[in-house]
Structure 1
Amino acid sequence: MGYSVGQVSSFAGVTVRTLHHYDRAGLLSPSERSHAGYRRYSDADLARLRQILFYRELGFPLDEIAAILEDPQTSALEQLRARQRRLREEIARLQRLAEVTERAIEVQQTGVALTPQERSDVFGEITFDLSYATEAQLKWRESRTHREAMARAGAHSKEDWRRLMAEAGGWRTRLLAAFDDGEPDDGERAMDLAEEHRLHLTRWFTPCPPETHRRIADDFVADPRAFALVVPPSEQRPGLAAYLRAAVHANASRRERTRAH
C-alpha cells in the first residue's frame, strides 16, 4: 500500500511542501502507486528520506546530498570528512565570536551611564570606540591590572569623569605645547609629561608601573584608536603619537635608573 504524502509528512516531521520540493528536485520521488493511481511512498523511500534529513541536519545542500545518494560508497565518506572540517572551522569561528561578544558586553557594562548630551559635555571629542575597547579586553583578559582598571572606570561617577577629563585636557595642552616647541622627546619636559600621564592612569584607573606604561604607549603608535583616546584627531599632529611613545619609554628608563641607585 505505501504511505501518502500526508502520512510521511506527519511521522517524518517535514512539511508536505518540503516533500513536494524534494520530488520536483528529483531527490525523493514516491516509487509506488495506489489502486486509484495516487503516488505512495515505500519503505525504501522512507529510508532514503531519513538519509536526506540526516545530511540536511549536517548542513549539506541538496545537490551535494543527491551526489552522495547516487554514489554512497565513494561520496559519503569524502563529503562527511569535508563537512566535518567546515563544521569545526565554523565552531571555532562562533567560539571566537561568542568571546568577543562577551567582552563587548563587559565593556558596555563598565561604561558610565550618561545621556548623549552629558557624554558630549564630559568627553568632548574623545570618543568611545567599542571595537577597540573590546579588542583590548581580549588582549589583556588575563591581566589583573586591566580588570581592576575596568572595574574602577565603571565605578566612576559623572563628576569623577568630569574631573578626570579636565585633568587629561590640561595635560594634553602641555603635551602639545612641548611638541610644538620642539622639545626633545627624551628631554626633561617631555619625560615629566610622560610621568604625569603615568600618574594620571594610576590615580584614576590602576597602578601603572613603567613597563605597563611602555606597553600602553606602544599601542598609541600601533593603533590610531588608542591614541584617539588620549588626543582627539582634531588636535593630533604628524609624529605626535611616536613622540609621546618615545617620551614614555625615556621616562620609564629614567625611573628604572633612579630605582637602581
Structure 2
Amino acid sequence: MTMRVKEVADLIGISTRTLHHYDQIGLLSPQKTTSAGYRLYSEENLKTLQQILFFKELGFPLKEIKEIIFSPSFNQQEALLLQLKMLVEKRNNIDKMIKTVDKTIKHMSGEIKMTNEEKFEGINFSHKAYEQEARKRWGNQSVEHLNEKIKIMSKAEQNSLSKRWVTIFKKLALFCDYSAESQDVQAIIKEWYDFLNENFKNYSLDEFYGLGLLYMEDERFTKNIEQYGAGLTRLMSEAMKVFVDNQK
C-alpha cells in the first residue's frame, strides 16, 4: 500500500513542503513517482519518516539525521531504542523543569528559599545519551578494527605507520594552546582523518566523531596521547568534533 504526499502530510500533521524538502536534500525520497508526478510513499518510507521526526524532536539537525540513517551500521530497531532512552531523559528533564519553575514562583513570592543549584534543576543542553551510544557503537568498533589491522602487519609496516602516527601527534601538540576551530589545528586533524582512512578503513564521520569521544573517556588513550603534550587529548577530541560538524 502506498500513500500520496498529501495523505502522508495529513496523517502526520506536517506540510507537504516539508516532505518535498526532505526529498530534495536526499533525506527521504518516496518509493516512486508516477508519470503524472505524484509522489508515492511506502510503508518503509513511513518507518524512516517516523525516525527522522523522532530525531528532529530531540534537536538533531537534518544533516546529522541524514548522516545517521545512511550510516552503514544504522539499524532501525537500535535507533528506536536510542530514541526511547533520549525521549525518557527529555521527559524527566521537563518534569524537573516544571518543578523548578513552580518552586521559583514560590521563591519569588517568599514562600520558600531556593539554592543556586535548585534554580537550574532540569536544565540540560547536552546530548549525553547520544554521545554514550556514539562512543559505544562507532568509537569502540573503530578501535577494534584498527587493532585487528595492526596485528596482521609486518614489523616494518608497523614501524612505518608508528612514525607517521607520532609525527602527526607531535605537530598537533605544537598547537595545544590554540582553538580547536583554528585552521592550523583543523589542517592537522584532516591529516589524521586521511591517515586513518588510507591505512585502516574508510571511517564515516560518525565513526571519527565516536573515536574522538573515546580518546577523552578511555584513560589508555588519554595516557598515550598526553605524552606528546598536556591538553592534547582534549584538543584532539574537540577538533575532531569540529571537523565532523564542518563536513555536514
Give the TM-score normalised by structure 1.
0.39
Q: Which has the greater radius of gyration?
A: 1
Specify which structure has the bigger relative contact order, considering alpha-carbon pairs within 8 angstroms and separated by 6 or more residues: 2
